[in-house]
Structure 1
Amino acid sequence: MSAPGSPRKMDEADPRRARVLGLAILPLLLGLLFFAASLTPSLIPRPWLLQGVLAGLVTAIGYAIGQFLNTVWRALELPTLSMPAVRKLSLFLAIPVIGLLVWTLLHAAEWQNSIRLRFEMEPLEAFSTYGIIGVATATFLVSVALGWAAQFLFDRIRRALYRIMPMRTANVLGLALAILIGFVITRDAVIRSGFDLADKSYATAQNLFADAPPAPQDTRFPGSPGSHVDWGAMGQPGRNFVVDGPDAAAISAFTGRAAMNPIRVYVGRAQSESPQVRAELALQELIRLGAFDRKVLIVASPTGTGWLDPGGHEPMEFMHDGDVATVAVQYSYLQSPLALIFETQSGLEQATATMQAIYRHWTTLPPDARPRFYMHGISLGAWSSMYSFNVFSILNDPIDGALWTGPPFPSRLWNQAVVARNPGSPYVLPEVGSGRLVRFASQYGGLERTSGPWGRLRVVYLQHASDAIVFYEPTSVWRAPEWMKEPRAPDVSPAIRFIPVVTQLQLALDMALALGVPGGYGHNYIAEDYIDPWVAVTDPEGWTDDDSTRLKAWCAQEWGQGCRRE
């Protein structure tokens, strides 16, 4: 027989908690509360299948929290309820919990429609309650099985530690070691390996040229004879960028004025392993094409896949009669959310190398004979572009401005601008000082709020209030994001409410879904969104409000509302 207080005695004396189908009832009720909360709306509409997955995950998390509290209670050897008391408490709590769950299921479709209508989407004709319950149950059971595996690991570790240290210390250290082992296995062995494979697969796909067009023979294109850039190494995103833009004839047909062929330079990730070498090749190609004789020079940072938003570049070329040179260098093959997690440093290093190489050359040119210098990026490209914006290195000879679109939430420069907003200024569309340096815009405008003059350097942030990649908040596990404390923007459902833990997972799913929405919402920025910000940043000569209106109409007709943004 084990001595009182021994590890085995503690396990055998574990209180007989009420259970159903092997699951502890009180933690399960907490999980069902999380299930009900997950049905409430967030930034992006969710189809029933994904809603079911989300509901299953948050139910499992709620259950795990309940089990964890149970474990802590027992580990501290605090008093426990008798079995009859546990049963009475379970019944007392089950009635309101189930009632709340039924009520939220009945309102789930209405809440999703409150988002869809703001996104100009058709209301849901069918929102499968049974489908949600089925998928959620399956997801929950898989999660519980993983939880049992984690519990088994924890038990093995803590019982081994009992031999060399006091019980409570062993419990705490065992839990910490189990979490650490799970993190290392999940991130480094499974996730990292998977994304390394995905990265290599995508690289291979970009280098399959059987169906790729032949290299251009016109020497004004990168990859043509005499170019410093390898046409094959560009990959599809680069090839599309350099050849698909408007030419002088198309621009003249719209403006009625003489125009030039825009210059577009792109260096692919496969060109070299070194970001510095890729940056120098981009510079040499700009020099070869006469880019520094143009009126406007744009250093653009692509998204993770190397993609550049055509809607963010073509309007600029129309505004300035094609007298524009744009350069971009690829650093990854992964989608931006994956590159943000697993290839963060690659993007930052490449953006910095590109910016430094081109800026150094630009500063050697006479100020009255060099192009105006602008920076641009969307999504992860905006983040890396901001990172390369070193105010100390450009202070004596500043560039002219920047337009950063859909900046991801970790962006330091964006966060600094938002924190510096004027009192009473909306978090999703701030006003900063007198607006001489930084202004914010959305699909609904915003630039018109500041009537004063610009300073020497002009920076505009373009962002949608419904863009979770911008407005995800890591602390939403326990604290409401700032934008939830304010009146909702026009593209955000007024029914959104903060719920600890659940809001965090909802916003995480919103990030994954942020591109799968109509243009002009979420993370899907359209050409019309860019026009007013580009006008504000670059101040095209002779450009009028009527010109902007006409260009917006042309863009809407040319691309519609469904232009792919990644």
Structure 2
Amino acid sequence: MPAWPLVAAILFLAASLTPSLIPRDWAVQGVLSGVLAAAGYGLGRLLLAVWRGLGLTALPRRPARMILGLALTAVLAALALALWRQGIWQDDVRLRMGMPPAEEARLLRILALAFAVFAVLAGAGLLVQRAFDLARRRLVRVMPAGAANVLGLVAVTAMVVVLTRDGLIDRLMAVADESYETAQKLFDPERPAPADPGRTGGAESLVSWGALGKPGRDWVEGGVDAARITEFTGRPALRPIRVYVGRAEEDDPQIRAELALAELIRQGGFERSVLVIASPTGTGWLDPGSFDALEMMHGGDTASVAVQYSYLQSPLALIFETRAGLDQAAAVIQTVHAYWRDLPPDRRPRLYIHGLSLGAWSSMYGINGFRMVSDPPDGAFWAGPPFPSEMWRRAVANRDAGSPQSLPVLDEGETVRFVSHYGGLDRAYAPWRHLRVIFLQYSTDPIVFFDPAALWRAPDWMTEPRAPDISPAFRFIPLVTQVQLAMDMVIALSVPGGHGHSYYLADYVRPWAAITQPPDWGEAESRRLIGFCAAEVQQGCAGP
């Protein structure tokens, strides 16, 4: 094994142990360390090949050995320090999020797993190198060596892309999609349809109960009922309307959107005071905490409609940019908005767009799909907007001078406001305009704050004053930070509510109140609702 690539591998291994946004258990840390060690080794080999390819003069043997010895001593010292500090770093992040300290005796397991991952990846790299050498030897017979090197590199790169992205990854995604579809059909095969014929999936519904899937059935049957709302308000309440169309209902997203509109009309959704067009996450899940909070504060005088577009987990859909969610959100928003727009303004509900995570991304895209200047919705509430979300990115990029990326201010908050677990709505903003938009984003959410440019430079939010749940030991390291944030995205739901990508009821209440302006509602009512739902605050407020 060449010495200088080994030095780079050890250096990257040490850097991998530094903290990031999300605390890591031993297994996650082992995989991350193995991946980064392999990346360092590969980078070292690449630089060594470039050095030799350029024909640069090598140092005399004795100085070269001395420099190599010093470098190896330095990186081994850095590794020893990182191995000693890694438990302290991880516990610091965990305690900031209200989590117990990490398990004992994790160090040996981390190193063993890291070595195994490194060995697998290094072996795969060796196979690619052998393929390149073979292609180059074949090509050099019929063309100059320089051209053979370039063409061989292109050929091998194309082969790797085809075998991974267009071969292995596509197959894995297809298997995952089929697995989730099967699971949604088989988890509750005997679950009866709602007894109320008027509800989604009931006897008079236009939507098939069996085609809803488990996320749809949970959302339709779950949530607060009129009795629960009355228990909180002390006043008679309505049963909230929830309309859901499952992915298995129809193949065409436009047909599913039209079916959702027809079911919404049938249930009287346009006769309520508040109407929400919601876009679910990849699997079709909708956060109960958000809808329970909205329905409680409006006495059940609400209607919500959502359409499932996939069975994949949101991280898979986000990473590989499936268009299923974007097309479905655009179809639903345009279809429902067109019907709503033609109703008399004094006889139609206030209309809001809502989404969490991938649902936020897709619904932002859906809003761009129709002309909202002449008759826009009344507002939008997006939680955990993924970093590729174009509307969110534009809002952050155009923030007021001196405004932090982690909690921006845009045009003095006249239309768009940003909030987090630590506040945001308590700022001295300008008065709201007609359209009210709120982004809820946690300071430690890597789905929001992942930055492709972090490969070579620190994102703005890393140079700003940090929220209490971000470790002061988190430092930017080129390439390493990028991989750490990518791993953080995978485990972003492994932390308690209020951190990472775990959004919960307590942080939905005030944004919904600010956007929808429920009657006779103030800060005291928001605190009372959060306290009333304290036992179920992590999920919803439906009660036992």
TM-score (normalised: structure 1):
0.93
Contact 1:220 1:263 in 2 (8 A): no
Contact 2:17 2:83 in 1 (8 A): yes
Q: One-letter code of the match for 2:444?
A: S
Cα distance in 2 for residues equivalent to 1:212 and 1:189: 37
Match of 2:93 in 1: 115
1:131-210 equivalent positions in 2, closer than 5 A: 131-208=109-186
Residues 243-270 of structure 1 show CA distances to partners (whole Å, capped at 9, x for unaligned) of 1121111101110112111000000000
Residues 375-431 of structure 1 show CA distances to partners (whole Å, capped at 9, x for unaligned) of 000000000010011286111011100100000000000000001111111111001
Q: CA deviation at 1:212?
A: 3.8
Contact 2:5 2:45 in 1 (8 A): yes
Contact 2:505 2:538 in 1 (8 A): no
- Greater CA deviation, 244-253 or 73-82? 73-82
1:216-255 equivalent positions in 2, closer than 5 A: 216-255=194-233
Q: Which residue of 121, 125, 129 corresponds with 2:107?
A: 129
- Greater CA deviation, 371-380 or 173-182? 173-182
Residues 205-228 of structure 1 show CA distances to partners (whole Å, capped at 9, x for unaligned) of 212266441112312211111211
Cα distance in 1 for residues equivalent to 2:242 and 2:428: 33
1:288 matched to 2:266: yes
Identity %: 54
Contact 1:109 1:127 in 2 (8 A): no
Q: Which residue of 412, 421, 424 corresponds with 1:443?
A: 421
Q: Which residue of 62, 74, 91 corresponds with 1:96?
A: 74
Residues 294-342 of structure 1 show CA distances to partners (whole Å, capped at 9, x for unaligned) of 0000000000000000001000001111000000000000100111234
Residues 445-470 of structure 1 show CA distances to partners (whole Å, capped at 9, x for unaligned) of 11111343110100000010100000
Structure 2, unaligned runs of 5 or more: none
Q: CA deviation at 1:169?
A: 2.6
Q: Secondary structure at the match of 1:533?
A: helix
Structure 1, unaligned runs of 5 or more: 1-22
Cα distance in 1 for residues equivalent to 2:202 and 2:516: 30
Residues 96-155 of structure 1 show CA distances to partners (whole Å, capped at 9, x for unaligned) of 111111011111111111211110111235252222221111111111111100101111
Contact 2:287 2:539 in 1 (8 A): no
Moved over 4 A (4+): 82-85, 560-563
Q: Which residue of 373, 385, 389 corresponds with 1:407?
A: 385
Match of 1:487 in 2: 465
1:560 and 1:279, CA in 2 relative to 1: closer, same or farther beyond 3 A? closer
1:352 matched to 2:330: yes
Contact 1:237 1:308 in 2 (8 A): yes
Contact 1:75 1:168 in 2 (8 A): no
- Greater CA deviation, 208-217 or 264-273? 208-217
Q: One-letter code of the match for 2:272?
A: R
Contact 1:466 1:491 in 2 (8 A): yes
The number of aligned residues is 541
Cα distance in 1 for residues equivalent to 2:105 and 2:442: 27
Q: One-letter code of the match for 1:333?
A: Y
Match of 1:8 in 2: none
Q: One-letter code of the match for 2:345?
A: P
Q: CA deviation at 1:72?
A: 1.7
Contact 1:222 1:266 in 2 (8 A): yes
Q: One-letter code of the match for 1:147?
A: G
1:136 and 1:555, CA in 2 relative to 1: closer, same or farther beyond 3 A? same
Q: CA deviation at 1:165?
A: 2.6
Q: One-letter code of the match for 1:114?
A: D
- Greater CA deviation, 125-134 or 192-201? 125-134
Q: Secondary structure at the match of 2:401?
A: coil
Contact 2:215 2:286 in 1 (8 A): yes
Bigger RCO of structures 1 and 2 (CA < 8 A, at least 6 apart) = 2
Contact 1:305 1:332 in 2 (8 A): yes
Residues 465-524 of structure 1 show CA distances to partners (whole Å, capped at 9, x for unaligned) of 100000011111111111111111122111110101110110000000100111111000
- Greater CA deviation, 135-144 or 497-506? 135-144
Contact 2:334 2:369 in 1 (8 A): no
1:127 and 1:438, CA in 2 relative to 1: closer, same or farther beyond 3 A? farther
Contact 1:519 1:561 in 2 (8 A): no
Cα distance in 1 for residues equivalent to 2:105 and 2:495: 18
Cα distance in 2 for residues equivalent to 1:451 and 1:541: 21
